[in-house]
Amino acid sequence: MSETTQETRKETADTARNGQEGPVYALTDPEAQAPARRLYGFLCRLGGRGILAGQQECPGNRNSWEEISYIEEVSGQRPAILGLDYIGNDFEGVNRRAAQWHGMGGIVSICWHWGIPPHGVGYHSSQESVDMEELLRPGTELHQGLLDNLDAVAEALKELCRLEIPVLWRPLHEFDGAWFWWGKGGAEPFKKLWRLMYDRYTNYHRLHNLIWVLGYSGEMHEGWYPGDDVVDCIGGDAYSEGIHEELYNWVKSQTAKKMPVCHHENGPLPEPGLLSAKGVEWCWFLTWHTIHIHEQNSKDYIRYVYNHPYVITLDRLAAWESKTEEPVRP
């Protein structure tokens, strides 16, 4: 990353922090595509006015989404955000569903259960261990395997970039929980890995459609924040009931920079009336698939949440974006 680029990002972060004139809703990527800038501006302006409903799909190369259909059948509504996963290297299927969802007016979120480099694939592989020192040392075979993995996913993301589809890109999630390989080496290797990925994707591959989402576990471990210049949204995961006010306040405290704070993953849906009453300004929730939407939430409760005026669903999204629209700043 060049010194000029670093200085530009620092100035942007300082401007947002100090409330001075300038690019108020600027992404960390100064070359971000206009659709990504517009989406990010909307997320920034949303705080405290409503929460975007999100649902993670169960991975698979499918033409329809069982979770989305279930929510619509129960509540008459669909989430505003569709969560996808490059797990199993299902690049073609994920991109097809991402483009379809974007075409329906929805917001796309993508994570990656990254199998251990260089050849691991899938969820179980993502929980193995690797020598992080060797992995991050240029010139080693393991480091080259790391770059090859990154580049394969970059090629998949380039398809969405060419289509100018903004992506809530949330890699290396639940890092501080240390159950995935990218967190098992501790905070400093994780931060180096995050910054390496950011630099390679933004400056080498020129992926200017990404909104970088940093997703903590619910354990609230200090010292893992990689820096204001490489994070656009910050969030935390919680799979127990409640609105998780303590987690919200803790996650928000990890940076002085103003940015959207998201309920990065959840099981039970947060109670929207309590969120509004207590000022817990999660920007979105993203409910996990299978048992988490089906068994941790009753049909009556799903119906209540998805029809609450504080909750922004797919059918309400365009009106909300229009209501909060401001000019896109460079």
Could you read off the pLDDT of 156-169 as tens digits, one per residue?
A: 999 999 999 999 99
Domain boundaries, the chain: 32-112+159-323
> What is the rounded distance in angstroms from the CA atom of residue 326 to the CA atom of residue 133?
45
Label residue 305 exposed, middle or buried (CB < 10 Å: 0-12, 13-18, 19+). buried
pTM for the full predicted model: 0.91
pLDDT of residue 326: 56
Residue scoring higher pLDDT (22 or 172): 172
> What is the rounded distance in angstroms from the CA atom of residue 174 to the CA atom of residue 184?
11
pLDDT of residue 114: 96
pLDDT of residue 62: 58
Closest among 292, 288, 279 to 248, alpha carbons compared: 279
pLDDT of residue 12: 41
> What is the rounded distance in angstroms from the CA atom of residue 195 to the CA atom of residue 218?
22
> What is the rounded distance in angstroms from the CA atom of residue 38 to the CA atom of residue 217?
28
The whole-chain average pLDDT of the chain stands at 91
pLDDT of residue 59: 87
The residues that are catalytic are 174, 265
pLDDT of residue 328: 42
32-112+159-323 maps to which CATH number?
Answer: 3.20.20.80
| pLDDT tens by residue, 209-223 | 999 999 999 999 999
> What is the rounded distance in angstroms from the CA atom of residue 320 to the CA atom of residue 316?
6
pLDDT of residue 321: 84
Task: Determine if the peptide bond prior to 23 is cis (ω within 30°).
Answer: no
Instruction: Return the ∠ at Cα 143 (arms to 142 and 145), rounded to 5°.
Output: 65
The mean pLDDT of 282-298, rounded to a whole number, is: 96
> How does strand 311-312 pair with strand 284-287?
unpaired
Residue scoring higher pLDDT (22 or 77): 77
Q: Is the pLDDT at 197 greater than 80, yes or no?
A: yes
pLDDT of residue 186: 97
The mean pLDDT of 300-328, rounded to a whole number, is: 87
Q: Is the pLDDT at 18 greater than 50, yes or no?
A: no
Cβ-based neighbour number of residue 256 at 10 Å: 12
pLDDT of residue 47: 87
* 3-class SS shares of the chain: helix, strand, coil, % to 5: 45, 15, 40
pLDDT of residue 24: 57
Strand blocks (E) in the chain: 51-56, 81-85, 107-111, 167-169, 210-216, 233-238, 261-266, 284-287, 311-312
Q: Is the pLDDT at 147 greater than 80, yes or no?
A: yes
pLDDT of residue 322: 80
